[in-house]
């Protein structure tokens, strides 16, 4: 174990640093410090030694150079177990520094400001901080390095329990956190500067995607296996999560989530988040096989309607709900075998019902509402990856156009809006049939659009007459529309944009159908 006798403290985030320093001094630790941190500690009655007094070299260049000195880095990197290191440190009057407490200039917070200039970003790149952190982390057997204020209390507890010493195991854990943190910091800098084709570019000249892109995730858990038992897998999460999602959902009960459970729960929750009104969806293999919404019916009835779309496929699926689950809804969920339920909450009565289903995974997400969705998504291919914006563009019905002679009825238009939201989350080629804000049939992932139409019709558990149809992309031929008309479908919503749109329009007019062009495609591969 390494005994702490001297600590260097220089922090941007000063929360808790005074109390932590007080406890260090009470344990006999001498404190070296710089700039604003030193002033804060002195203002609170603590005795500190300025780094410039310790090194004999003043801070200079607007504070850019203050800790980049052999007396600092020699004191951090010198190995106490090597006589030649000890001798050289003594020769040059380099004291051992046993602890470094540093957090970095707020680069990420700075570039998040809409008025952040290129010069502001550059000035908020910390140099001395990461250098000290990495020096200390490399020599973890002798130096305790702290970048996270959450570690202050555990470190004090350990020092008090071991006469001022910290274990090598604790130091190694802290060192790993430092290298992960500085890697993320460097990645944020590289990603941001990569947006600028030339120095001092104005925002209008910035590229949308950087020249290099680095992403870092923290391992949340090892998984039993991946998509198949022969594949190893783990689940990693973003460092900061700004919206309700599978990654910040809390598991309340049930078996450990599998690789496929996580994928399906994500697909289910992202779909149900489309709706402001009460909604429930059933998902199987990332495709919806049931869904319903209502402003009038109780949640239990919405669940029954959603399941009725395809009860065979719903068996063993994932359910997502955008409301708190009540007792009656829990009783409906308990009627069918499902793998998991993800919702903003579960009443005590609902928990009592679902506890009997011990294998059922209950996932409680943060409450919906009051967040702004955003960010990028990437898909891995062999030898690289594709990076894109998430498909979050809001489809505003005011921008839709009626392509047919007949205008849709109010009921058809309302159901079109529902079906269009569902269709966005179905694998291409995607076809969705709906009636009265309930799914009727789904055709997903087919190589031809007419095949998806026929599957959606064949999957329907109720007569399709009077249903509306949503298609994620345009109809390249009229065959899909003719098949829909034969099944009694009365209205179609699709993006439009085909060279054969005239053929599609003629087909709907011949069958007295209504057709809306949204102008926005929703392929999902």
The string of pLDDT tens digits covering residues 231-284 is 999 999 998 888 999 999 999 999 999 999 999 999 999 999 999 999 999 999
Lowest mean pLDDT among 3-12, 363-372, 482-491: 363-372
Residue whose entry in the numeric block shows the structure tokens 């409680």 = 364
What token pair was written down for 135?
């020096």
The whole-angstrom distance between residue 427's C-alpha and the CA centroid of its chain comes to 21
User: Which phi and psi (to 5°) does residue 265 adopt?
Assistant: -65, -40
Q: Place 62 in a pLDDT band, splitting at 50, 70 and 90.
A: low
Overall CATH class of domain 256-364: alpha beta
Q: How far apart are CA 6 and CA 391, in angstroms?
A: 52
Count Cβ atoms within 10 A of the Cβ of residue 9 and give its class: 0-12 exposed, 13-18 middle, 19 or more buried. Answer: buried
Asked whether the CA dihedral 489, 495, 501, 502 is positive or negative, the reply is positive
Whole-prediction pTM: 0.88
Does domain 397-517 fall into CATH 3.40.50.11540? no
Q: Which residues are catalytic?
A: 138, 285
On the question of pLDDT at 37 being above 70, the answer is yes
Q: Do domains 2-203 and 256-364 have the same CATH topology?
A: no
Three-state SS for 92-136 is CCCCCCCEEEECCCCHHHHHCCCCCCHHHHHHCCCCHHHHHHHHH
What token pair was written down for 377?
């998504």
Average pLDDT over residues 90-95: 89
Share of the chain above pLDDT 90, in %: 78
On the question of pLDDT at 437 being above 80, the answer is yes
- Partners of residue 279 on adjacent β-strands: 293
Q: Where are the domains of the chain?
A: 2-203, 256-364, 397-517
What Å distances lie between residue 181 and 92, 236, 415, CA to CA?
32, 15, 48
Render pLDDT for 113-164 as a digit per residue (tens, 0 to 9).
888 888 899 989 988 899 999 999 999 999 999 999 999 999 999 999 999 9
Q: What is the CATH number of domain 2-203?
A: 3.40.50.1380
3-state helix, strand, coil in the chain (%, to 5): 35, 20, 40
Q: How far apart are CA 33 and CA 395, in angstroms?
A: 55
How many residues are listed for the chain in this entry?
525
User: Which phi and psi (to 5°) does residue 251 adopt?
Assistant: -85, 120
Residue whose entry in the numeric block shows the structure tokens 């006999």 = 28
Average pLDDT along the chain: 93
Q: What is the pLDDT of residue 209?
A: 85
């Amino acid at each position: 174990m390494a005994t702490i006798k001297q600590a260097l403290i220089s922090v941007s985030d000063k929360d808790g640093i005074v109390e932590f320093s007080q406890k260090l001094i009470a344990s006999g630790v001498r404190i070296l410090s710089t700039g604003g941190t030193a002033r804060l500690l002195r203002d609170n009655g603590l005795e500190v030694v300025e780094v410039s007094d310790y090194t004999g070299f003043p801070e200079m260049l607007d504070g850019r150079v203050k800790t980049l000195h052999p007396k600092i880095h020699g004191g951090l990197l010198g190995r106490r177990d090597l006589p030649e290191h000890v001798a050289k440190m003594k020769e040059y009057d380099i004291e051992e520094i046993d602890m470094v407490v540093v957090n970095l200039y707020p680069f990420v917070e700075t570039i998040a400001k809409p008025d952040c200039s290129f010069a502001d970003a550059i000035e908020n790149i910390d140099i001395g901080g990461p250098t000290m952190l990495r020096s200390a982390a490399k020599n973890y057997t002798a130096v305790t390095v702290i970048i996270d204020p959450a570690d202050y209390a555990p470190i004090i507890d350990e020092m008090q329990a071991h006469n001022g010493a910290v274990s090598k195991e604790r130091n190694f854990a802290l060192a790993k956190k430092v290298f992960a943190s500085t890697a993320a910091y460097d990645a944020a800098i590289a990603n941001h500067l990569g947006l600028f084709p030339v120095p001092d570019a104005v925002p209008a000249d910035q590229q949308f995607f950087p020249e290099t892109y680095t992403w870092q995730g923290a391992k949340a858990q090892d998984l039993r296996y991946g998509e198949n038992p022969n594949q190893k897998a783990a689940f990693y999460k973003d460092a900061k999560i700004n919206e309700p999602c599978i990654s910040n959902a809390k598991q309340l009960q049930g078996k450990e989530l599998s690789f496929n459970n996580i994928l399906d729960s994500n697909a289910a929750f992202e779909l149900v988040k489309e709706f402001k009104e009460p909604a429930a969806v059933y998902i199987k293999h990332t495709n919806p096989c049931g869904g319903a919404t209502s402003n009038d019916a109780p949640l239990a009835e919405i669940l029954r309607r959603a399941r009725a779309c395809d009860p065979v496929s719903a068996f063993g699926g994932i359910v997502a709900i955008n409301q708190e689950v009540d007792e009656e809804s829990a009783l409906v969920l308990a009627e069918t075998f499902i793998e998991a339920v993800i919702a903003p909450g579960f009443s005590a009565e609902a928990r009592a019902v679902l506890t009997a289903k011990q294998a059922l995974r209950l996932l409680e997400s943060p409450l919906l509402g009051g967040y702004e969705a955003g960010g990028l998504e990437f898909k891995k291919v062999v030898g690289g990856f594709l990076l894109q914006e998430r498909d979050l563009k809001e489809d505003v019905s005011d921008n839709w156009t009626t392509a047919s002679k007949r205008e849709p009825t109010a009921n058809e238009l309302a159901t079109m809006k529902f079906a269009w939201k569902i269709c966005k989350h179905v694998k291409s080629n995607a076809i969705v049939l709906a009636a009265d804000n309930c799914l009727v049939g789904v055709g997903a992932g087919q190589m031809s659009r007419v095949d998806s139409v026929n599957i959606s019709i064949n999957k329907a558990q109720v007569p399709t007459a009077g249903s509306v149809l949503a298609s994620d992309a345009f109809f390249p031929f009229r065959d899909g529309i003719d098949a829909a008309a034969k099944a009694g479908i009365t209205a179609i919503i699709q993006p439009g944009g085909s060279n054969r749109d005239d053929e599609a329009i003629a087909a709907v007019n011949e069958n007295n159908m209504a057709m809306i062009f949204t102008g926005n495609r929703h392929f999902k591969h």
